[in-house]
Structure formats: structure tokens, C-alpha cells
């Protein structure tokens, strides 16, 4: 992109120079290969990988788990997150700053909210692979 206009540190196109392709991305279309010993793979579509997200204030992740796989405890200091379970059964949990645990096993078609900055994790507790879609309230949620 050859724009001299930047916002949030990223180049911006003028409307006249934009096209449908600026708002489209195939980034989450392929599952990827899980090579982690934890049995999970997170593919994040944030502003770094999908420049069209600049100024939208959101990002999206697709998380894959093998049977028994987990996404270890982590935080997003810049975003809240909602997870939607596409396939499988997942134990999801977070801990508040007051050290209160919120945890539940969610099943296909269910959602769970995770507040900004709180420690959280997920684990595949069902049979077979798991797929989660996670929407985050920042174009760069950081981990």
C-alpha cells in the first residue's frame, strides 16, 4: 500500500483507491497443521495479518485442538473475547483479579465470554478434534 495517510500506525487507503479485496481475507479458511505438543493451533486474523481490519476495533481467531489438546493460560491485555464452539466439547475457564474461578464445559453451538486482561484457558474434553471461533474486541488484542 502506497498511502501516506496512517491511522493507528497502519497505512490507510482513500475510499476512491479501495476495492472489495481490501475487506476480504482467506486467512482463516485453511485449518493448518497442529505441531504443538499442547495439541492446539491458534490462527489469528488481526491487523498485522489482515490490514483491512485497521480502525474496525476487532479481530477473529480460529482455534483447533486435537483430542485432549489445550490452549494454555494466557491473557489479552487489549481485548475481551467471545468464543463460539463450532465443533466438539471444551472446558473453558477464567480467573478474576479477585481470584474467583469461572469455568464450564461448553458444547457445539455454545458461547463463552472472557473479559479483557483476565487469565483464561481452554481444553478439549470431548472425543475428536475441536474448532473454536473467537472474536476479540481489538484489532490487535496481543497475548
Residue 128 lies in a domain: yes
Binding site, annotated residues for oxalate: 71, 76
CA distances (Å), origin 47, targets 21, 52, 58, 111: 15, 7, 9, 24
Q: 142 lies in a domain?
A: no
- For residue 37, the domain's CATH number is 2.60.120.10
pLDDT in tens, 42-96: 999 999 999 889 889 999 999 999 999 999 999 999 999 999 999 999 999 999 9
Asked if residue 86 belongs to a domain, the reply is: yes
125 in a domain, yes or no?
yes
Domain interval for residue 113: 6-136
With CA atoms as reference, report the closest residue to 8 among 56, 49, 54, 68: 54
Number of domains in the chain: 1
Q: Which residue ranges are tagged as binding site for Mn(2+)?
A: 74, 76, 120
**Does residue 127 fall inside a structural domain?**
yes
What is this structure's pTM? 0.88
Span 109-126, pLDDT tens digits: 999 999 999 999 999 999
- Binding positions are 71, 74, 76, 120
Instruction: Specify if 141 maps to a domain.
Output: no
- Let me know if residue 143 belongs to a domain: no
- Supply the pLDDT for residue 3: 63
Amino acid at each position: 500500500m502506497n498511502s501516506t495517510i496512517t491511522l493507528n500506525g497502519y497505512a490507510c487507503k482513500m475510499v476512491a483507491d479501495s476495492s472489495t479485496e481490501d475487506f476480504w481475507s482467506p486467512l482463516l479458511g485453511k485449518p493448518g497443521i497442529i505441531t504443538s505438543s499442547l495439541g492446539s493451533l491458534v490462527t489469528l486474523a488481526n491487523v498485522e495479518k489482515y490490514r483491512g481490519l485497521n480502525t474496525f476495533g476487532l479481530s477473529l481467531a480460529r482455534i483447533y485442538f486435537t483430542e485432549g489438546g489445550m490452549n494454555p493460560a494466557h491473557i489479552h491485555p487489549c481485548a475481551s473475547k467471545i468464543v463460539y464452539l463450532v465443533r466438539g466439547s471444551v472446558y473453558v475457564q477464567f480467573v478474576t483479579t479477585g481470584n474467583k474461578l469461572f469455568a464450564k464445559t461448553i458444547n457445539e453451538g455454545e458461547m463463552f465470554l472472557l473479559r479483557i486482561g483476565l487469565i483464561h484457558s481452554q481444553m478439549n474434553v470431548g472425543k475428536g478434534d475441536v474448532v473454536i471461533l473467537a472474536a476479540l474486541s481489538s484489532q490487535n488484542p496481543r497475548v
